[in-house]
Structure 1
Amino acid sequence: MLDIAEELHRWVEQGREFAVATVVATNGSAPRQPGAALAVDGDGTAIGSVSGGCVEGAVYELCQQALQTGEPVLERFGYSDEDAFAVGLTCGGVIDILVQPVRAGAPATADDGGFAGERADSTAATLAAGLAAAASGEAAAVARVIQGPAGLLGRALLVRADGSHTGTLGGHPALDRTAVEETRALLDAGRTTSLEIGTGFAPGEEAEAGFDAEDQAPADSDNDAQRSGSRCGQPVVLLVESSVPAPRMIVFGAIDFAAALVRVGKFLNYHVTVCDARPVFATRTRFPDADEIVVDWPHRYLDAQQLDSRTVLCVLTHDAKFDVPLLERALKLPVAYVGAMGSRRTHLDRQRRLRDVGLTELELNRLRSPIGLDLGARTPEETALSIAAEIVANRRGGTGTPLTGAHTPIHHDTGRPVGRIGSVA
């Protein structure tokens, strides 16, 4: 849901009612990952995607129904061998989708003494606050119930980086406390995943709270196993969506290859900085797409930055007086990627110089040089694509080999731990 937060926040500000369908779990080959969303407003306008086209039509109809009923629903879609034209994932995977209406000021109903209406108002307000936080670039996470008591389906908590929270999951107070702690940990790591925790109810109390033993369990995710939280009773499962500031790409060297890499970096949703010590080259005219342009010695600029483990550093300066002091520092930082441009001869000379200043073989082995994958690239644009492909492969644990004839999963992730947002720890 937070992947389309800016658009949904505008809808909230405009007072538009809408239903949002969110992928909450996947199994097998699925085109979109947990957190991907499609939303439909009262006029039938749709934004986002949950399947790349496979089940969009059916999900669109579920969103319209949710707007009419005001009730959330969890639906599973999978491949159908019996009917090739049945609604399902032709890629053979399984996805679970939570469809949830967001109706500002939803009225209380007479049948339940107003409780359902109050609950809908509270959840809508929490979701609206989460959308506002994500749209503004604030680090925040939204946790929603996707399995457990029927009356809790879709209930939401918003957790901010400082640990403050808004909303309630509606169960035992211990459920909220545990959910906040676990959600904050996932937010610190910038992760979106499912989370299993206890409800806080003792055996026999579940029925009073609305538990249904036959509640549908979400599909097991191939990409991220459910995280086991503190269990203080019968479990519920939450989808935790983290929205964190865009990861940083810092490009050192204001050359024509850098201009192409900036454009590709923005396409991949990086916050891109260009740094060069030469003011005549580091200009807005040459780099209109960059978020920041810095005139400074690269190593001095790097020393002043607070980086996290999602940061990628691309060294395109191709000059030893810039490269060596910069890489001496960069290769000691727990960032995601360090790559340097240059020929194989330049790479060997650079390695020798870095050994001379005390870098270990383990640190040198982190350097991707010559930078990029072997695509036969020649132009700045082709080279930028080669660099970006290596960055994505490094982030996702890809091999860089053609998928044709391969028998490895198409969608996968390294699953390696990441540091706290805004830090290098």
Structure 2
Amino acid sequence: MLNIADTLYRWCREARPFALATVIQVSGSAPLPPGTALAVGTGGEAVGSISGGCVEGAVYELCGQVLESGEPPVRASFGYSDDDAFAVGLTCGGELEVLVQRVDPANQPQLTTALEQVLAGLPVAVAQVVEGPQRFLGRTLSVSGDGSAYDGTLGGLQEDKAVAAQADALLRVGRSACIQVGGDADTCPDKLTLLVHTHATPPRMLIFGAVDFAAALSQAGRFLGYRVTVCDARPVFATAERFPHAHEVVVDWPHRYLEHAEVDARTVICVLTHDAKFDIPLLRVALGLPVGYIGAMGSRHTHEHRLERLRETGVPEEHLARLRSPIGLDLGAHTPEETAISITAEIIAHTHNATGLPLSRVPGPIHGSLPAARPSPAAVLVA
């Protein structure tokens, strides 16, 4: 639902009821992930999309029925029809399940607060009950970005605490996912499945080296939703004018900046300096941090020499194994713009545990299910 937060927030502020259709489960080649939503207002206006167009009409009609009748939330499934590919269904071959509910903002004030936080750019998670006893369906509980507080209730203190803890964990890694709580007669007798929608602060892309490749990569990184920092020790090159797409340009020695930078498991580090006096101290720091991706530019010969230097400084092999160099996928890239696509393609593939192969050579659904959470780099570092 957070994909349409601006409109939903306006309707909530106006105390206008609306129907909300949320994708709660996908399989096969369904085009949009769980959590994507379509909403219909009291005037018949629609916002959002749940299938890229395949079943929008049928879901719109269902939203109108639920909104007008005030009936309890309903679940509906849509899938590919072998008999008539143009019938109501997903002609792309996938299947999806949708929860359609009427939302009265007066009954869920925590939703208004959560949407306001999203629009303010603050981290927040919204847990929405998508499976369980009818009286729970559609209820929401929101969790603040620092995990210190939650708003709303699912009916009991034990359920609320259990959901808040899991939602906070997902928020910290920036993932939306389904969770289950309950089923324990002593604590939470009702078994519930909740879809946790997360709005995390943007992940960071740290680019070291104020070169032409960095200019193109900062533009690509910003397009992908990263908060981009370009860092270089040379003030004549590290200027905001040369990197208009970066959120910040820092003049400092790369390793010194990285020692004090805020990073997490979603942070990507791209070393484009390919100069040993910068690379070696920088990579010594980077390879010891719990970040998601570390790549370095340079030829294979440069990389082998770099590994030797890092070993000499005491960097262990398990840390060196995290370094991706030469950086990027084999796309035949030559220009800075092509190289930026090569690098970001590798980052995307690494983030989603994908192969990086052409889809024509990969069997199975095009849109695979979301991967299990990648082990925290911190866990690898202490293993």
Task: Compute the TM-score of the two structures, normalised by the length of structure 2.
Answer: 0.90
Superposed counterparts of 1:23-422, under 5 Å: 23-71=23-71, 72-104=73-105, 121-123=106-108, 125-160=109-144, 161-169=146-154, 171-198=155-182, 232-410=188-366, 411-417=368-374, 419=376
CA offset at residue 279 of structure 1?
1.7
Following TM superposition, by how much is the alpha carbon of 1:186 offset from its aligned partner in structure 2, in angstroms? 2.8
3-state SS of the aligned residue for 1:275? strand
Tell me the SS of whatever aligns to 1:404: helix
SS where residue 314 of structure 2 aligns?
A: coil
Question: How far apart, in 2, do the equivalents of 1:168 and 1:420 lie?
Answer: 34
Confirm or deny: 8 A CA contact 2:133 2:190 kept in the other structure.
Answer: no
Q: What secondary structure sits across from 1:385 in the alignment?
A: helix
Between the two proteins, what is the percent identity of the paired residues? 54
CA shift digits 1:365-413 (9 cap, x unpaired): 2111111000001111111000000001101111111111421443244
Question: Cα–Cα, structure 1 residues 100 and 339, in superposed 2: closer, same or farther, change >3 Å?
Answer: same
Q: Take 2:125 and 2:350, find their aligned partners in 1: how far apart are those partners? A: 25
What is the CA-CA distance between 1:62 and the residue it aligns to?
2.8
Q: Secondary structure at the match of 1:59?
A: helix
* Partners of 2:371 and 2:181 in 1: CA distance: 25
1:175–1:199 contact (8 Å) kept in structure 2: no
Deviation at 1:354, TM superposition (A): 1.2
Q: Is the 8 A contact 1:396 1:412 kept in 2?
A: no
Distance in 1, matches of 2:125 and 2:376, equals 16
User: Equivalent residue of 1:194, what SS?
Assistant: strand
Aligned-partner Cα distance in 2 for 1:5–1:265: 23
Q: C-alpha separation between the residues in 2 aligned to 1:94 and 1:182? A: 27
- Aligned equivalents of 2:52 and 2:40: distance in 1? 16
Distance in structure 1 (CA, Å) of the matches to 2:220 and 2:272? 15
Q: CA shift at 1:268, angstroms?
A: 1.2
CA distance in 1, matches of 2:76, 2:244: 44
Q: What is the rounded CA distance, in whole Å, between the counterparts of 1:187 and 1:260 in structure 2?
A: 30
Contact 1:122 1:167 in 2 (8 A): no
Q: CA deviation at 1:74?
A: 2.2
Preserved contact between residue 248 and residue 270 of structure 1 (Cα < 8 Å): yes
**C-alpha displacement at 1:13, in angstroms?**
4.6
Amino acid at match of 1:277: A
Distance 1:11 1:272 in 2: 33
1:44 CA drift (Å): 4.4
Inter-CA distance 262–25: structure 2 relative to 1 (3 Å threshold): same
SS in 2 for 1:168: coil
Report Cα offsets for 1:216-253 as digits up to 9, x if no partner: xxxxxxxxxxxxxxx73131211111221111111111
Could you tell me how far apart the structure 1 residues matched to 2:296 and 2:69 are? Answer: 56
Shift of 1:173: 3.6
Structure 1 length-normalised TM: 0.82
Query: Aligned equivalents of 1:412 and 1:50: distance in 2?
Result: 16
Q: Is residue 292–residue 377 contact of structure 2 (8 Å, CA) maintained in 1?
A: no
User: How far apart, in 1, do the equivalents of 2:377 and 2:181 lie?
Assistant: 22
1:300 Cα deviation (Å)?
0.6
- Report the CA distance shift for 1:352/1:412 in structure 2 as closer, same or farther (over 3 A): farther
In structure 2, C-alpha distance between the alignment counterparts of 1:387 and 1:92, rounded to whole Å: 31
1:57-111 residue CA offsets vs partner (Å, 9 max, x unmatched)? 222333333433344332221122233222111233221112234444xxxxxxx
Q: How big is the shift at 1:307?
A: 1.0
1:40 aligned partner, one-letter code: V
**Partner Cα distance (2:48, 2:282) in 1:** 40
Q: Which runs of 5+ in 2 are unaligned?
A: none
Equivalences, count:
377
Give the superposition deviation at 1:201. Answer: 6.8
| In structure 2, distance between residues paired with 1:316 and 1:13 | 47
Secondary structure at the aligned position of 1:279 is classed as coil
